[in-house]
Homo-oligomer: A and B are copies of this chain.
């Protein structure tokens, strides 16, 4: 008998109150309740009646069943954000931003990590077909234009977050070129002329933009960009380690400053420089894109270009909701400006005599 869980632990079944209960309690029809509760426009109801309905709702502790509503309206009121497997702390504020914007509009946010054993195809298919989310926020698939098109192709409104492709999709990005300029111009103003850049894969739009901003800033200062000073890295600490070491090993003379593409990479760069006997910032200035808690926790504290990642998540969600609510013509491509350059202690004027590595 303890097995007939239907009666023992009703959970949310059985005692659940439906719209019909409310209509009985309020002495009106189901239709009226539904209309009042959804705030139906073109509805002129007696104030007294509407109050009676709200009273009944409150008394019975009623909440509409989302599954029933969803079945009827073909909208799940859920969106999903697809994230790479990576531990990059930059995603946390994006998620929080997206979540806040979603709930403000009555939507739920599903998180979905793009695991090893799933192709982008499978993920989109699962989210769109199986879960029937109303829209997708995509932070993965940086380079593969084809893949990124799929959700749109699958008919699910999609906006790219911190990504863009050549395709006509909605996206929200930060102007990485401007971000890179901010960082590099700071270094130049300090007197640096030999500035290296640890970039992401150059096939990624973001990384290409950063390289562009970096190059432009150098040229504007009359400095000829040295290809040897750009090393293609990833976005994580491990990437930063290997690429910094590579830079230090292969570069002659050494740069006096390094501009890194992410906090994690920059933190790793500081570490590797120190391991190689280079003092930061005296022997090597280091600046980074993004900003976050760890910028102030490492030593020396990192000079960074702050991006408002929380806002990016919010904006992306707003664009997505527009897309969902609209007729498909409201594709929006938002480019946020980097917030500011934050000078901390990882950057300073270059030494007069350039340092040499003991090899």
Contacts and interface: CB of A to CB of B under 8 A. Distances in A.
A99 B113 contact: yes
Given A66-B131, A132-B65, A155-B12, A293 B237 contact: yes
B327 A13 contact: no
B67 A96 contact: no
Contacts of A16: 74
A297 B156 contact: no
Interface residues of A, number: 64
Interface string A256-269: 00000000100110
Given A155-B11, A264-B297, A297-B271, A111 B111 contact: yes
A130 interface: yes
Interface string A93-116: 101100110010000111111010
Contacts of A156: 11-12
Interface in A1-46: 2-3, 5, 8-13, 16
A90 to B, nearest CB: 11
A65 B129 CA distance: 8
A61 B95 contact: no
Contacts of A264: 293, 297
A146 interface: no
Interface in A42-80: 61, 63-68, 70-71, 74, 76, 78
B296 A298 contact: no
Contact of A2 (B92, B270, B329): B329
Contact of A111 (B76, B95, B131): B95
A153 interface: no
A246 interface: no
Number of copies of this protein chain within its complex: 2
Contacts of A74: 12-13, 16
* Best-buried of A61, A63, A100 by chain B (most CB within 10 Å): A63
A299 B296 contact: no
Contacts of A78: 110
Interface centre among A100, A113, A326, by most chain B C-beta atoms within 10 angstroms, is: A113
7 contacts: A5-B326, A8-B328, A12-B156, A66-B76, A89-B89, A100-B113, A297-B298
Interface of A: 2-3, 5, 8-13, 16, 61, 63-68, 70-71, 74, 76, 78, 87, 89, 91-93, 95-96, 99-100, 103, 108-113, 115, 128-132, 155-157, 237, 264, 267-268, 270-271, 274, 293-294, 296-299, 326-329
Query: Which 10 A-B pairs rank lowest in CB-CB distance, beginning with the nearest?
Result: A67-B70, A267-B297, A63-B129, A67-B71, A9-B328, A299-B299, A5-B327, A13-B74, A67-B67, A63-B130
Given A66-B131, A297-B298, 11 more contacts: A5-B326, A5-B328, A9-B155, A11-B157, A12-B128, A12-B155, A61-B129, A67-B67, A108-B110, A110-B110, A274-B299
